[in-house]
Structure 1
């Protein structure tokens, strides 16, 4: 008779555990730096073969593309984001117009744009969708009468018929957004003799063997440099698909430029010695970063951008210099004295946030030096913080005439709108294509400009005492009660204070927030999860057709949603908040497909009240079909020197219906 199973029969042996660790070790060794560099060199040979076959110059889609192009063969750079081609997120970037690529295309009757993607995909979304959208929109804008060139072209192997149709339906909106920038499209048209047409090439493609003639269009050859690896890299003999992608995670500071300058030395160095060699090369290249010349932001004749090291040698050419950085440049201060302004901004995202509080110094500095013929704005890279300062200057101090663009005393802040900000940013990006302002920098500039708007974009609160300035008429606010509610990070919130009215609550929402949300689903088709991101309440001219709306915000949030099953995805939403002082009411509206206009009422918020725990509560609801939407806002206000300001608030949101049932709790913190 067979013996019963024992515990030892059910426990994995040590050899099984060792085998698992062995597999992990093999995977790590496969993805080593030396294998990546060899894969990049191998793929670069294919890229050069494509350029020779089509007899066209190579353009890198940064940052990945530059790893695959030898510097002597690189004709230019482009910045087409794959996220603008993600399913349901298709977009024509008004921030990255990439008009510099038109110069290359016009001069050479086309170009080859190089990019790559990691294991499993045939080609990156930037090549399959983002650039085809760009081509179609530009064809509509620059060749309006050639309707046969207006259709969208996409690779059937990567884009389904349904997705193609959905993208094509949005092209009209993208064209309108481009036209609203007011750019000199005729100047772009002069660079091209015929429309653009994307073509796709992978390592599986058959390349032309002789001269190719494209009489009806400029070919934009979209080259996926790496061959597709459907399984794991372990079975590929050390080859890594998309080895140059996300270099921040593996290159240890090595850049594509340093790679090509030291390729032979890197390729013959063993894996064990590569980290030390890379550290040496990074140290040397760090001493020679930046360089170049100041860039004039057209159509102005005044504003220039550069890196700080360029400013040290070029400063004598300018009436004034503004620098952004962690510390003041003593050399510039000594040379320029009162004509030098330093904006205190630390490194990274914190520096971008610092910028919001420093921008007012630039306006005072600039106005006191009128008239000026030239100003240089610089930051460590010349591509981020300096761009933010220039954008604020163009919005506040630039002639309305787009073709003059001369700086003057501060313009009326009431004229600043999101459309104007987008237009001014397009001036910078077309003049300085390598500029790369971070999202945090642009949000800081936007918040700075919008917070300075005059009524009706922001309704003034009554003076102290007119309506119970730091407390309710009937109930003083206790510090003890205010401590009942704490934000997720556990920090203490100071004394709660009642806003003077629903107007005070509305005004308190203005600006940028960090968002931390927990979503609990009671429906099998909707997962629970958490959302972490950023949000802005941006003041704008009311878009309601009625006359009873006194002020309006466009609310926008972006971040990452992680489901309870571990799936992560980028997510975002928009609402419109409207204030009606006559009825003491805030209404919240869903936003339509254009991302700007109201599509339907979400809920209405009545007058605020103080609850027993010292929280200021504003709540409301709305029945939409068979679904009930209920929202509850709970405010805690931090007491400053004179005016109370909202430091954080919580939104509890519930939806109940036959097909929807979920609740969410969101913390907003400054």
Structure 2
């Protein structure tokens, strides 16, 4: 039997070139640094034309936005994450309040926030949803008397009516979370003269038709890139969202460096580009932007980059220094002696891990300080130093920001308190915030290492079942007992499986007669009931029952099906494992050990347990809220189920 005809027999048979390799090569050449920089330049021209048309200042949504704004036209930076606008993950970030944007808006009667998105989308989620959520929440908090300003405005070109409704249902909870921070809202209100109104601008629209609202400050959300429907190779080498994920293509080139040497870079060939970028980096033309910042409302705690210690002409003279870095700063150590503390930390995530054990040095050091200015620094001034400052103000600052001589009791380190103190950091340094890994280390130190009482936030101990020292997994399991309000969103990609919402209640009951008293573990019955409203207007009742079981040998929680008799388990649904590396002392995360197979369907489970400290500091703190998400894939299923459980009284 003869060999089947192949592509290489038709195209370039003499060289036997693989056609897919040719396409890959064309794609790589199209996505070259040169084409990216040319595309960025084209997009920047559009951004400037928008600014000229609406006469408002430009704000870069980092990390991407600064590529598209000439430095002389950039007024400020913002940090609105697209992840806070992802489907079923909608959030109002308490870490990224972006209060600096309010100052610009109040001064210029509005602003333009610049961002882009890669091929396949018309608008980044940060602009279509995250910023609109931010505007709506602030309007409701700062202008409660103006109900006409409380409407949520999302980008209709990117956000469906169903998704808009689901986001709007969460706004009251976001408002409560912001109010619970306890920040000075009158200061924020003083920055604004009227409420905020998002306006959406893309390359496909008419910039001369951007609406004006006399009763609102306009927040113009500008998507820089034009939409590419096919591959870049068919777009004249134009790359949509060329500035996105620069660390993957830029070879170290930054936006400031690009604008400083724009002409030279644009005239360089692809072959010469890597060497040119290396030369620019070697010349040290990327200054550290993290300056000295006072953490308000304190008058004594400052944060910045370690390079300030080397500046002989600096006007700031600290009375004490905490230095998070790889090596001791010799001159500071000799000058300050016992008032210099070196916390040995690497960079990146390794440094965040180092910080957790190094924070134990704080108590003996701070006990020798009573007054004076304290300077906390790290290599960048943007991460470890901010985390250390957070630990200090949690332990050694009262409500007015004054330094206290003794540390605050660890029993008072609950979730709202740490969030309030973190707000001090984020509002004092709105363009900076510590990484998630650093916050996890700080929270673990504050809520676990300092407390001898076994609570939900304590580190895992050896599995001991029902012993007097239960593990954190067992404590989480026991804290499920009670009655919960549930809000569920079902999002299906298939028309055969309905999308919609479920509202109802659920109970975890240890006293149900169907629950067995097993000697080698514990078991509770889960029962829920509610009303399922589909997006096409149908409504019907739903009920569900599972068994939750704790196994002390594996220190894991299992979820099992229940037979029709309502008493007997009918096999494993999912087996959960607490992810210690992803816990921050407040939120405990868990995932299914293996993807559950139900016939031909696959179920991937993810849990988030929002724990809290007990008021007295002893025993079980419990939970006020937890989240459950199932991603289901199969021949006839492709949907996501996301549920929020809120504890009901009694």
Do Structure 1 and Structure 2 share a fold, with TM-score over 0.5? yes
Q: Helix, strand or coil: the match of 2:443? A: helix
CA contact (8 A) 2:299 2:402 kept: yes
- CA offsets, 1:537-560, max 9 Å, x none? 999x979779xxxxxxxxxxxxxx
Q: Which moved more, 1:238-247 or 1:619-628?
A: 619-628
State the match for 1:289 in structure 2: 287
Match of 1:427 among 424, 428, 431: 424
Match of 2:3 among 3, 7, 12: 7
Alpha-carbon offset, residue 23 of structure 1: 1.8
Alpha-carbon offset, residue 302 of structure 1: 1.7
Alpha-carbon offset, residue 292 of structure 1: 5.6
- CA offsets, 1:200-255, max 9 Å, x none? 11111112279x75311000000001111111100111111111111001110000
State the match for 2:640 in structure 1: none
> Are residue 184 (structure 1) and residue 184 (structure 2) matched?
yes
CA contact (8 A) 1:297 1:304 kept: yes
Instruction: Go from structure 1 to structure 2 and tell me whether the alpha carbon gap of 1:259 and 1:364 turns closer, same or farther (over 3 Å shift).
Output: same
- CA offsets, 1:555-601, max 9 Å, x none? xxxxxxxxxxxxxxxxxxxx999999xx9976789999xxxxxx999
Alpha-carbon offset, residue 655 of structure 1: 7.3
State the match for 1:164 in structure 2: 164
Q: How does 1:110-129 map to 2 (within 5 A)?
A: 110-129=110-129
State the match for 1:244 in structure 2: 243
Q: Which moved more, 1:169-178 or 1:324-333?
A: 324-333
Alpha-carbon offset, residue 634 of structure 1: 10
Alpha-carbon offset, residue 311 of structure 1: 3.0
Alpha-carbon offset, residue 450 of structure 1: 1.6
Gapped regions of structure 2 (runs ≥ 5): 484-505, 512-518, 529-542, 579-589, 608-650
CA contact (8 A) 2:458 2:472 kept: no
Quick one: distance in 1 between partners of 2:509 and 2:359? 28
Q: Helix, strand or coil: the match of 1:506? A: coil
CA contact (8 A) 2:455 2:472 kept: no
State the match for 1:277 in structure 2: 276
CA contact (8 A) 1:299 1:404 kept: yes
Quick one: distance in 2 between partners of 1:19 and 1:218? 54
Q: How does 1:114-513 map to 2 (within 5 A)?
A: 114-208=114-208, 213-285=212-284, 289-290=287-288, 293-313=291-311, 314=314, 317-369=317-369, 371-399=370-398, 401=399, 403-451=400-448, 452-455=450-453, 457=455, 502-503=466-467, 506-507=470-471
Alpha-carbon offset, residue 363 of structure 1: 2.2
Instruction: Go from structure 1 to structure 2 and tell me whether the alpha carbon gap of 1:236 and 1:657 turns closer, same or farther (over 3 Å shift).
Output: closer
- CA offsets, 1:340-360, max 9 Å, x none? 111111121111111111101
Quick one: distance in 2 between partners of 1:192 and 1:450? 37
CA contact (8 A) 1:181 1:419 kept: yes
- CA offsets, 1:69-98, max 9 Å, x none? 000000000000001001111000001000
Quick one: distance in 2 between partners of 1:420 and 1:329? 33
CA contact (8 A) 1:306 1:379 kept: yes
Q: Helix, strand or coil: the match of 2:136? A: helix
Q: Helix, strand or coil: the match of 1:51? A: helix
CA contact (8 A) 1:51 1:112 kept: yes
- CA offsets, 1:460-506, max 9 Å, x none? 99xxxxxxxxxxxxxxxxxxxxxxxxxxxxxxxxxxx9756534663
Q: Which moved more, 1:24-33 or 1:96-105?
A: 24-33
Instruction: Go from structure 1 to structure 2 and tell me whether the alpha carbon gap of 1:577 and 1:248 turns closer, same or farther (over 3 Å shift).
Output: farther
Alpha-carbon offset, residue 147 of structure 1: 0.6
Instruction: Go from structure 1 to structure 2 and tell me whether the alpha carbon gap of 1:588 and 1:344 turns closer, same or farther (over 3 Å shift).
Output: farther
Quick one: distance in 2 between partners of 1:11 and 1:381? 53
Instruction: Go from structure 1 to structure 2 and tell me whether the alpha carbon gap of 1:662 and 1:426 turns closer, same or farther (over 3 Å shift).
Output: closer
State the match for 1:552 in structure 2: none
Alpha-carbon offset, residue 429 of structure 1: 0.6
Gapped regions of structure 1 (runs ≥ 5): 462-496, 511-536, 547-574, 593-598, 609-614, 636-648
Instruction: Go from structure 1 to structure 2 and tell me whether the alpha carbon gap of 1:301 and 1:230 turns closer, same or farther (over 3 Å shift).
Output: same
Instruction: Go from structure 1 to structure 2 and tell me whether the alpha carbon gap of 1:364 and 1:620 turns closer, same or farther (over 3 Å shift).
Output: same
Alpha-carbon offset, residue 270 of structure 1: 1.6
Q: Helix, strand or coil: the match of 2:303? A: strand
CA contact (8 A) 1:653 1:664 kept: no
So what's the TM-score if we normalise by structure 1? 0.73
Alpha-carbon offset, residue 291 of structure 1: 5.3
CA contact (8 A) 2:463 2:471 kept: no
Output the aligned Cα RMSD: 3.9
Quick one: distance in 1 between partners of 2:154 and 2:64? 22
Alignment: residue pair count: 540
State the match for 2:85 in structure 1: 85
State the match for 2:20 in structure 1: 20
Alpha-carbon offset, residue 398 of structure 1: 1.9
- CA offsets, 1:244-299, max 9 Å, x none? 1110011100000000111111111122111111001112236x532563101111
Quick one: distance in 2 between partners of 1:36 and 1:199? 27
So what's the TM-score if we normalise by structure 2? 0.75
Alpha-carbon offset, residue 56 of structure 1: 0.3
CA contact (8 A) 2:383 2:433 kept: yes
Q: Helix, strand or coil: the match of 2:208? A: coil
Q: Which moved more, 1:163-172 or 1:337-346?
A: 337-346
Q: Which moved more, 1:625-634 or 1:76-85?
A: 625-634
CA contact (8 A) 2:137 2:171 kept: yes
Q: Helix, strand or coil: the match of 1:111? A: strand
State the match for 1:529 in structure 2: none
CA contact (8 A) 1:298 1:405 kept: no
Q: Helix, strand or coil: the match of 2:377? A: strand
Quick one: distance in 2 between partners of 1:184 and 1:76? 22
